[in-house]
């Protein structure tokens, strides 16, 4: 039997959730599914929620989290994939209620599987992972809405987090003046090394302000925070500006008047990287493999192994992580 290792989270008495490394075996694949030998995964905020028992993410335990996986096809009942082919799976139900990339093997529907584009390694695809894909989608939305480097500064919130750090690096590469908002001002030099022009404190944006409009400061923004932070961002966009909103680390609720929209014509652009069509994911991966290729990609992630997951997950859950955690399942 084909045995592999996985980080499995179990529900214990008094709603405690505990993860440990276990041996698992993979059943025969069902029609239309692909078994993947996972080489790399990564740690995302949603994984931290799943591993800590958030039923909004994972309904039933024991469960193997990991919303990201990159590896080689081990077996496929879909003719679109051949054994040995390099592939990426992110989002859909992976790691939520389907065993995810914190295991050395996954079995997923072929419709979730993106082919690794030429020019991107399995490793780098997971340095980016869902966070990087989301950052890419945010930048893509801004570009589609006509944002150019000449329009003015672009703000990135949660700048040292997974989405934020990739958004900073990508926007800087594309020639934008990037302003990074962070709760970790001590990481300012690291952000500047990625090409960020200015670093501001998270608190500057997170306090509620009763004024319906604030000084026009940014042509565009990538926001991972939601809540009062997103409201302040919307109020601070210059005329015709756009914010790509993808997260809720501050709060899922926003309390904003329509005035920024009807007086300044600003755009609130929603970004989802989970359920969007595979073809769009493939398009963004292809950009990261070519014109969006990040020279500083190695500096974005710390590599960890299965046994180091508990500490990494706790740090991500507490908002204390800097950059990305790359999970090496072959180490
Ligand atoms: N829409 C989608 O498809 C999609 C996809 C991926 C992620 N997301 C969401 O995007 C958000 C960020 O994900 P991630 O993977 O980048 O998470 P992450 O790596 O944990 O980073 C989040 C960062 O946000 C900042 N932060 C923490 N608490 C905050 C608060 N109360 N107010 C403002 N900022 C705070 C911190 O950075 P600083 O210390 O630098 O401020 C933290 O490192 C999450 O809400 C996640 O669920 C959505």
Mean pLDDT over the full length of the chain: 96
Same domain, 167 and 243: yes
Same domain, 146 and 111: no
Same domain, 260 and 142: yes
Whether 226 is covered by a domain: the verdict is: yes
Cβ–ligand 1 contact at 219 (below 6 Å): no
pLDDT tens for each residue of 66-107? 999 999 999 999 999 999 999 999 999 999 999 999 999 999
- Whether this prediction's pTM lies above 0.85 is answered by yes
Distance CA(228)–CA(232), nearest Å, equals 6
Most ligand 1 atoms within 8 A of CB, residue of 65, 92, 127, 161 to mutate: 161
Same domain, 155 and 218: yes
pLDDT tens for each residue of 108-132? 999 999 999 999 999 999 999 999 9
The pair of structure tokens assigned to 289 is 């493999």
Most ligand 1 atoms within 8 A of CB, residue of 93, 183, 224 to mutate: 224
Residue 1 predicted with pLDDT over 70? no
Same domain, 69 and 108: yes
Q: Helix, strand, coil: what percent of the chain each, to 5?
A: 30, 30, 40
What's the pLDDT score for residue 210?
Answer: 93
Domain of 78, in residue numbers? 3-116+296-328
Is the distance from CB of 146 to CB of 165 less than 8 angstroms?
Answer: no
Whether 122 is covered by a domain: the verdict is: no
Same domain, 136 and 196: yes
Number of domains in the chain: 2
Residue (of 71, 238, 250, 74) closest to 153 by Cα position: 238
Output phi, psi for 301, to 5 deg: -130, 150
Cβ–ligand 1 contact at 312 (below 6 Å): no
pLDDT tier at 13 (50, 70, 90 boundaries)? Answer: confident
Same domain, 32 and 161: no
Where among 270, 288, 305 does a domain terminate? 270
Whether 168 is covered by a domain: the verdict is: yes
Whether 280 is covered by a domain: the verdict is: no
């Amino acid at each position: 039997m084909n045995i592999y290792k996985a980080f499995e989270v179990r529900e214990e008495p008094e709603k405690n959730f505990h993860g440990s490394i276990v041996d698992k075996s993979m059943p025969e694949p069902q029609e239309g599914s692909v078994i993947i030998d996972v080489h790399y995964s990564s740690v995302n905020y949603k994984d931290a929620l799943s591993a800590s028992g958030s039923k909004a993410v994972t309904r039933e335990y024991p469960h193997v989290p990991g919303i990201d996986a990159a590896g080689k096809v081990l077996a496929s009942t879909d003719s679109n994939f051949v054994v040995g082919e390099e592939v990426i799976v992110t989002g859909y139900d992976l790691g939520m209620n389907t065993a995810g990339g914190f295991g050395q093997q996954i079995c997923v529907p072929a419709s979730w599987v993106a082919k690794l584009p030429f020019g991107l390694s399995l490793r780098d695809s997971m340095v980016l992972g869902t966070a990087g894909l989301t950052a890419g989608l945010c930048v893509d939305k801004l570009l589609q809405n006509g944002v150019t480097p000449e329009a003015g500064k672009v703000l990135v919130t949660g700048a040292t987090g997974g989405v934020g750090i990739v958004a900073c690096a990508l926007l800087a590469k594309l020639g934008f003046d990037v302003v990074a908002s962070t709760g970790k001002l001590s990481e300012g030099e690291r952000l500047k090394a990625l090409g960020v022009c200015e670093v501001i404190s998270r608190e500057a944006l997170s306090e509620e302000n009763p004024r319906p409009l604030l000084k026009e400061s940014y042509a565009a923004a990538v926001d991972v925070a939601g809540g009062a932070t997103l409201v302040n961002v919307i109020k601070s966009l210059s005329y015709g500006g756009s914010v790509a909103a993808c997260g809720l680390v501050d709060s899922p609720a926003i309390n904003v008047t329509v005035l920024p929209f009807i007086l300044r014509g600003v755009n609130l652009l929603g970004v989802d990287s989970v359920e969007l069509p595979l073809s769009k994911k493939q398009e963004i991966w292809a950009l990261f493999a070519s014109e969006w290729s990040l020279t500083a990609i190695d500096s974005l992630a710390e590599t960890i192994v299965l046994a180091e997951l508990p500490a990494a997950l706790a740090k991500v859950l507490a908002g204390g992580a800097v950059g990305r955690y790359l999970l090496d399942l072959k180490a």
